[in-house]
């Protein structure tokens, strides 16, 4: 730092905000910086998503690769919805390479959302 002052530590809340923004936008440098600062790769957003879920949802292949290399679990389900990163990657067309990266990262393609295949018993 040019002023000679020691750098102030960044709060965990600010780190999380940067982390999830980086995952969504594909900013791999910021992802690395936040992980180097000690943020847990499995931390959850306010909506209970992991950064890997977010990177998959927004089609950020490089971010997916960085997160998997950092130890992100490709099989972790959303705690309420049950969606895995693989399931989220299929929300939009064009995420084939993300699905492939998840498979290379040992994602289990047979894990289904608890909401898939359910039929209403009404009627």
Domain-located, residue 120? no
Domain-located, residue 111? no
Domain-located, residue 114? no
One pLDDT digit (tens) per residue for the chain, 123 residues: 455 665 667 788 899 999 999 999 999 999 999 999 999 999 999 999 999 999 999 999 999 999 999 999 999 999 999 999 999 999 888 999 999 999 999 999 876 566 554 444 443
Give the number of domains in the chain: 1
Q: Contact at 8 Å (CB) between 74 and 52? A: yes
Give the span between the Cα atoms of 69 and 72, in whole angstroms. 7
Domain-located, residue 64? yes
Domain-located, residue 115? no
pTM of the model: 0.84
Give the domain range for residue 43: 12-104
In Å, how far are 1, 41, 50 from 15, measured between CA atoms?
20, 11, 14
Question: Domain containing 52 — which CATH number?
Answer: 1.25.40.20
């Amino acid at each position: 730092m040019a002023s000679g002052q020691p750098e102030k530590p960044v709060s965990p809340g600010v780190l999380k905000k940067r982390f999830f923004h980086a995952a969504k936008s594909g900013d791999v440098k910021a992802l690395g910086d936040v992980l180097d600062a000690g943020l847990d790769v499995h931390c959850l957003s306010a909506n209970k998503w992991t950064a890997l879920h977010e990177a998959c949802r927004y089609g950020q292949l490089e971010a997916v690769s960085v997160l998997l290399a950092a130890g992100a679990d490709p099989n972790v389900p959303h705690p309420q919805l049950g969606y895995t990163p693989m399931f989220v990657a299929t929300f939009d067309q064009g995420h084939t390479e993300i699905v492939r990266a998840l498979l290379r990262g040992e994602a289990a393609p047979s894990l289904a959302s608890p909401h898939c295949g359910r039929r209403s018993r009404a009627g």
